[in-house]
Chains A and B, each alone.
Chain A
Amino acid sequence: MNNNILSQFSLTGKEIKAIKNRLKREPNELEIAMFDAEWSEHCSYKSSKNILKQFPTEGKNVLLGPGFDAGIIDAGNGNVITIHVESHNHPSAIDPYGGAATGVGGILRDIISVGTRPIALLNALRFGEFETSNRSKWLFKQVVKGIGDYGNCVGIPTVGGEVQFDSSFERNCLVDVVCIGYGKENEIVLGEAKNVSDLIIIVGGKTGRDGIQGASFSSQNLGVENEEDRAAVQIPEPFTKKQILEATLESVKTGNITGVKDLGGGGLTCGLSEIGDKGGTGIQIQIEKVPVRDSNMSSMEIMISESQERMLFVVKQGYENEIFKIFDKYDLIYSIIGKVIKDKQLVIKDEEKIIAKLPISFLANAPEIFHKSKKPEYIKLMEKFEKPDQPNNLGKVLLKLLSSPNISSKKWVYEQYDHEVGASTVIKPGKSGAAVLRLPNNRYLALKADGNSKHCYIDPYNGSAGILAESCRNILSVGAKPIAMVDHLQFGNPNDPEVFWSFTESVKGMADYCKAIELPCVGGKVSFYNEDEIENKAIKPSPLSSVIGFIDDPLKIRSLLSQKKSNIILSIGITNEELGGSEYYEQIHKVVGGKVPQVDFKYEKRLHDAYLRVSEEELIDSSIDCSQGGIATALSEICIENNLGAKINIDSINHNCKRHDEMLFSESHGRFLLTSSKNNLDRVMKIFNKYSIPCNQIGELDSNEIIINSNKRNILNVRLDEVKDSYENKISKVMRD
């Protein structure tokens, strides 16, 4: 094989040597392309799989942990919840509309391919500076439209998410999507081919030249030439997806489907090798049977194309016609392309000729890469940090923070998403820390995704444990108990020891949190190479945690709105001088550094237990977790939702701060603001005290001003209408509509 051909691929010299050793011959060009797709970082997790072993993956409700298309959780009475997370960062950076839309398409396919119906989507988006960068605004607008157009058309409600802006994402925006599914345990199918002589059927879209080498493209840094890489981005077809959804769910009900695999990254190569590897079998296909958009496509293009809206079905022989009737009803294109064989090889034939023959498990399991790791210099430099002075007018500071694009209302975004379709959205976007859905079995599901790149940049360990703590608080705040999580880890180039150090710290932080509160990880995703070659700059470490929880009694669901009009405000937890990576430091003082909020695992466990007790007894009326922007921001959000001002005494909170700005804007973990009634006050206090969690009455909701006093002196005073205006209108004003 000449070097010219090899240079199109991203396989390393070591990997090529390993391939030759195993095959005991020279691989041909098609075989090399197949290894290149399957052994890409995107498909193989070769840099991360060893580190990811730290996550606990088993738990009481877990039916299936990581390793398949989706994690599966027991929802009771034979019903299941499925969950998975996906990103489409590289494609969205060069084609934000198509990249984001096909990201949604990909995650829906994962949920459908285990035989469950998608019931909700979340997304988490990260862009460069909001106000000053036209590029960021363009990416933001197109990504939101792409997500909306796709999810709306398929009819899956997008019920929550987050949007963050930070200059480190200027060229590498992050587009993460989470999907939740619902189905019956006895209709679950997995991506495996267990029975020899079962048929392999491809259904859905035709295979085209879009998405060629997409997995490999996503496993490299973004350079100037990538602006022309649009052919690596797939074309979204949500209408076909809707047809596939209905056809798949109808056909799994027949009981004659033994496996389903969505075709995503790595295309047919990845799909075929993984179902054989998981099933302990081999697969033989006739490449000329694959429906293609262009008859001139080469075998290589067909094997690695990532064209959207395609699925592989493994069907019992003799039952195919029954399945084809369903495909015909939904006007889908399909073709029997091969069968399951005993010999554990992936055999690709073109008519009579064998054009590739590879040991299937060898192809499906790339050799691991062990990277060097080193604490980043920048973290050491930041240890010498000088605190900024306290500004005079704290009211002005609060209004500015509320209008920061990271904190302000995301109404402009979620009004473009159909968050009502499905007629099951109980707590809607913007109404609480987490969304709540009614499940068809009349249980309720809370869901939330959180990240915090600013914290993770300064302290990857505490930052990453902290986002999980925040997600859990959000789940608790609506009255649910966290039951499972999925992680998504987004970093720069893993070959950079400093990047890899942050990655390992981040995984450790999240895994430690999971262990401390017995929260199983049921799936995840790793996205490396989020790095810009032009400025040689990696994104800030950006893990994302998505947590789900159950609520059985709808009367226990809570939101920001005080349903019973009780107006006593309680502060839960301890406010420390932890402003590193805070919105206050970065938006108001433009400084990066300082101590990031630390996570105390033992405290967290007690907090969960105490909070669940208070929830169970229905002692609180409304709830919000304190995170970005601190107590002052949380208080403002409660006031806005209840259309009331508040009067509080800041000295009453439990704190270790020397200054008022620190008390108001610190982002310490483990805190909530609650409202409760006079009647329940003693009982709430008693429960929190029993678990040694500070609980203090700090003031009440009242009139139309937010008044914060300290030592009988007023330190902050703003009108509710100013607060509303700052919080609600910023994004639509900047987006000019």
Chain B
Amino acid sequence: MIRIAIIRFPGTNCDRDTLHVIKNILKINTELVWHTDNNIDKYDVAILPGGFSYGDNLRAGIIAAHSPALKIIKDMANKGKPILGICNGFQILVESGLLPGSLLYNSSLKFVCKWINVKVNNCKTSFTSDCKKSSILRMPIAHAEGRYFIDNKGLKELKRNNQIVFTYVNEQGIKNERSNPNGSLENIAGISNIEGNVVGLMPHPERSSEKILSPYNNDDGIKIIQSVVNNLKG
């Protein structure tokens, strides 16, 4: 029996949406776990959902990244357990060093909420194994600090290890400036660690897991969680 923990920090606000998708649609045993819980590591998977942990004070994700909960999550990651960070969760993973690079203010200097397309470049991570390579997923983004940046050396590393899991593209799958909603380097929308068990992305799969919520009548986001479930069942 797979058990998934959705970690709640003060200010997390996509916890209930993520719970709804995993519990009600995928019918997987899932719990909301308050960040001070010492038993996070008893779960098989940890998801850091979106929101504004600690009000985005100082910098998005940085306070949560230094919380005791992240120490436990790092241990889980080191043991190979799958860890997913969505939006603010991605920011926390980056700030905690579990994923490389940083997420800067959008180039527009504005919060942006809209549906975008991402291309799946790597189908071997814990959270993309149910996706076809180069397939396009439609999901919404909603963030102010989502412009991915990393230095040249880091970028080469990411490419060499196939860690750039998602890139923003247009409907035809082409990566260009117009399909880049926030100014991310190389249109990077999501990355993984070298092992592929830790994944972070800015788009919200939990908001695109039911056809009725999509203007395109799709449920692409469900594939992200479905991947990890099938892996563990596997």
Interface residues of A (CB under 8 A from B): 145, 148-149, 152-155, 237-240, 242-243, 329-331, 414-426, 428, 431, 438, 554, 737
Known A-B contacts A243-B10, A420-B204; A152 and B111 likewise in contact (beta carbons under 8 Å): yes
Decide: A423 near B17, CB < 8 A? Known: A238-B55, A428-B215, A431-B215. yes
Partner of B207, one of A237, A242, A330, A420: A420
Residues 189 to 217 of chain B near chain A (Cβ within 8 Å)? 204, 206-207, 209-210, 212-213, 215
Enumerate chain A residues within 8 angstroms of B54, measured Cβ to Cβ. 239
Asked if B140 contacts A420 (CB within 8 A), the reply is: yes
Q: Are A242 and B10 in contact (CB under 8 A)?
A: yes
Can you give 20 contacting A-B residue pairs, CB < 8 Å?
A148-B111, A152-B52, A153-B11, A153-B13, A154-B13, A155-B14, A239-B11, A239-B54, A239-B57, A242-B13, A330-B10, A331-B10, A420-B142, A420-B204, A421-B14, A423-B206, A423-B209, A423-B213, A425-B213, A554-B212
Is there contact, CB below 8 Å, between A420 and B10? no
Contacts of A153 in B (CB 8 A): 11, 13, 52, 55-56
Give A145 to B34 CA distance when docked, in angstroms. Answer: 30
Report, as a range, how many residues of chain B touch the other chain.
Answer: 20 to 34
1/0 contact string of B47-62 vs chain A (CB within 8 Å): 0001110111100000
Q: Is there an interface contact between A242 and B17, defined as CB atoms closer than 8 Å?
A: no
Q: Kindly provide the distance from the CB of A96 to the nearest chain B CB, expressed in whole angstroms.
A: 16
How far does the Cβ of A620 sit from chain B's closest Cβ, in whole Å?
Answer: 19
B33 at the interface (CB under 8 A from A): no
Q: Which residues of B contact A (CB under 8 A)?
A: 10-11, 13-14, 17, 20-21, 34, 50-52, 54-57, 108, 110-114, 140, 142, 144, 204, 206-207, 209-210, 212-213, 215
Chain A contacts of B56 at CB under 8 A? 153, 239
Decide: A418 near B212, CB < 8 A? Known: A152-B52, A238-B55, A331-B10.
no
Closest Cβ neighbor of B109 among chain A residues: A737
Asked whether B55 lies within 8 Å of A418 as measured between CB atoms, the reply is: no
From A428, which residue of chain B is reached at the shortest CB distance?
A: B215
Q: Name the A residues within 8 Å of B140 (CB-CB).
A: 420
User: How many angstroms from the CA of A149 to the CA of B110 in the assembled complex?
Assistant: 10
Besides A155-B13, A418-B111, A431-B215, 7 other CB < 8 A contacts? A153-B56, A154-B13, A155-B51, A237-B55, A239-B10, A416-B110, A420-B213
Chain B: which residue is nearest A414 at the CB level? B113
B212 touches A152 (CB 8 A): no
Name the A residues within 8 Å of B50 (CB-CB).
421
Q: B212 — which chain A residues lie within 8 A by C-beta?
A: 426, 438, 554
The answer to whether A152 touches B213 (Cβ under 8 A) is: no
**Minimum-distance CB pairs A-B, first 10:** A155-B13, A239-B55, A423-B17, A418-B142, A153-B52, A420-B140, A420-B207, A418-B113, A423-B207, A416-B111
B114 contacts across to A, CB distance below 8 A: 415
Report A-chain residues with C-beta under 8 Å of the C-beta of B10: 239, 242-243, 330-331
Nearest CB of chain B from residue A736's CB, rounded to whole Å:
11
Q: Would you give the shortest CB distance from A645 to chain B, in whole angstroms?
A: 22
Nearest B-chain residue to A425, judged by Cβ: B213
In the assembled complex, the CB of B37 is this many whole angstroms from the nearest CB of chain A, namely 12
Q: How far is the CB of A576 from chain B (nearest CB, A)?
A: 36
The residues of B that contact A238 with a CB separation of less than 8 Å are 52, 55
Q: Is B113's CB under 8 angstroms from A420's CB?
A: yes
Q: Do A239 and B206 touch (CB < 8 A)?
A: no
Contacts of A239 in B (CB 8 A): 10-11, 52, 54-57
Docked Cα-Cα span, A485 to B160, in Å, equals 59
Residue of A nearest to B204 (CB): A420
Verify A149–B111 contact, CB threshold 8 A.
yes
CB pair B113–A417 under 8 Å, yes or no, is yes
Q: Which of A145, A329, A422 has the most CB of B within 10 A?
A: A422
Q: How far is the CA of A237 from the CA of B57 in the complex (A)?
A: 11
Residues of B contacting A414 in the complex (Cβ-Cβ under 8 angstroms): 113
Give the residues in chain B near A148, CB-CB below 8 Å: 111
A592 to B163, CA, bound (A): 62
Closest Cβ–Cβ distance, residue B118 to chain A (whole Å): 16
Contacts of A425 in B (CB 8 A): 213
Contacting pair A424 B213 (CB below 8 A) = yes
A residues near B57, Cβ cutoff 8 Å: 239
A356 to B55, CA, bound (A): 38
Complex alpha-carbon distance, A422 and B56, angstroms: 19
Contacts A420-B204, A421-B142 hold; do A242 and B111 have CB atoms under 8 A apart?
Answer: no
How far is A438 from B209 in the complex, measured between Cα atoms in Å?
A: 14
Q: For the complex, what is the distance from the CA of A330 to the CA of B11, rounded to whole Å?
A: 10
Q: Contact at B13–A416, with CB atoms within 8 Å?
A: no
Contacts of B204 in A (CB 8 A): 420
- Separation in Å of the B141 CB from the closest CB of chain A? 9
Complexed CA–CA distance, A428 and B10 (Å): 28
Q: Which chain B residue shows the least CB distance to A245? A: B13
Q: Which residue of A lies closest to B141 (CB)?
A: A420
Complexed CA–CA distance, A417 and B112 (Å): 7
> CB distance A422 to B113 under 8 Å?
no
